[in-house]
Amino acid sequence: MEKTELAAAQHGRGAPTNTTPDRFNMNQRVLDGDWLDAREMEDGQTKPVKTTVTEEFPKSIVSFNNSPDLPFDRSINAYRGCEHGCVYCYARPTHAYHDLSPGLDFESKLFAKPGAAALLRKTLAKPGYVPAPIALGTNTDPYQPIERNYRITRQILEVMVETRHPVVITTKSARVLDDIDLLVDLARDGLTGVALSITTLDPKLTGIMEPRASSPKNRLSAVRKLSEAGIYTHVNVAPVIPAITDHEIEAIVEAAVDHGAKSLSWIPVRLPHELAPLFRDWLQVHFPDRAGKVMNIIRDLRGGRDNDPDFFARMKGQGVWADLIRTRFQIARKKAGLGSSKWGVRSDLFRSPTLDGQLSLF
């Protein structure tokens, strides 16, 4: 793995470097979005990395999987890359497939799929299609800043409402509230649930770890508003980063329950492929005093490796540290008065669309 020389992090971006992927022999904050670029230009700072969006038109939009440790077998990703810039994002290495860096390229060179809703309709209209929950936000965030203009996620949800198809959403953005009207419609029939990912309650840490995601305050506010609207709301404390965010577990759990979360979960940080060296660079820039400690604990969680890709273990970790975090999480959840409830969505109301957008009479 080659990488550029380590330098100071760019303000408003998560990755401190652009790494060159070699797996395929390839080359080398309350608000969120492009306002950070504009501010930097006005302040006369170093020329920022500008966000660009390339439209792509795939032949299909629903991805199916048979992973035994996932609660869904199909998903939709309306975007490739994610402007939120979360340094720990396990999806970063997917940019290598485009001959792009999992570093700054992943959060600045984005791809949008404006034909997603039409492709979804085509899939749902196929004879013999069997409905099951479709997950949004499994790879990149469906409510990242460019959704404001593209509205692809909203178009997908409109198809879900029309066909009464179940859908579950994972996001770090309060922008999910833009679609609360559609979500309320789906929730009324038990067809949806929303998971807000909350990693920290510290806005300063958010600014360097996930710079263009919604602030912790806004995410918690979204939890409350969704819950009060009758939408099943889950909080995922993910990822938990040892010696960086793990001290906040109890506080996040308490805040989530206070704001109406109906269930909670956690996942330890995952560092597949190019993400591990990128994350080490980030630690050296922002936490040089504990960089070694953080990586040592992560390797202990991952069986002596930077990353453990094995089913089940990848989501839970192993060893003493994993057991300790799990125990703390369970105690915090119980103390907050939350049981072990899990969300579930129904699939029996589905009605197949026709390709012209009209529903079948039968």
* pLDDT tens digits along 149-200: 999 999 999 999 999 999 999 999 999 999 999 999 999 999 999 999 999 9
The strand pairing partners of 53, in sequence order, are: 110
Spell out the long-range contacts of 326-335 with Cβ–Cβ below 8 A and sequence spacing 24 or more. 326/266, 328/249, 328/250, 329/237, 329/249, 329/253, 329/264, 329/266, 332/249, 332/250, 332/253, 332/254, 333/253, 333/257, 333/264, 335/250, 335/254
Given a cut of 80, whether residue 31 has pLDDT beyond it is no
Note whether 148 and 177 are within 8 A (CB).
no
Position 316, amino acid: K
pLDDT in tens, 88-131: 999 999 998 888 999 999 999 999 999 999 999 999 999 999 99
Reduced DSSP (H G I as helix, E B as strand, rest coil) percent helix, strand, coil of the chain, to 5 = 40, 15, 50
Percent of the chain with pLDDT over 70: 85
Give the separation between CA 12 and CA 31, rounded to whole angstroms: 11
Given a cut of 70, whether residue 251 has pLDDT beyond it is yes
Give the separation between CA 175 and CA 216, rounded to whole angstroms: 13
Given a cut of 50, whether residue 35 has pLDDT beyond it is no
Determine the average pLDDT of the residues in 356-361: 56
One-character DSSP codes across 29-76: --S-STHHHHHHHHHT-SPP---EEEE---S--EEE---TT-S-SEEE
pLDDT band at 49 (very low <50, low <70, confident <90, very high): confident
Among the CATH numbers 3.30.60, 3.40.50, 2.120.10, 3.20.20, which is that of 38-335? 3.20.20
Give the separation between CA 183 and CA 288, rounded to whole angstroms: 43
pLDDT in tens, 289-316: 999 999 999 999 999 999 999 998 899 9
pLDDT of res. 10: 64
pLDDT band at 344 (very low <50, low <70, confident <90, very high): confident
First-to-last C-alpha distance (Å) of the chain? 57
Using DSSP's 3-state secondary structure scheme, residue 255 falls into helix
Token duo for residue 159: 């198809």
- Locus of tokens 């070699």: 22
pLDDT of res. 339: 77
Given a cut of 80, whether residue 340 has pLDDT beyond it is no
Token duo for residue 89: 């994002």
Q: pTM (2 decimals)?
A: 0.87
pLDDT of res. 48: 74
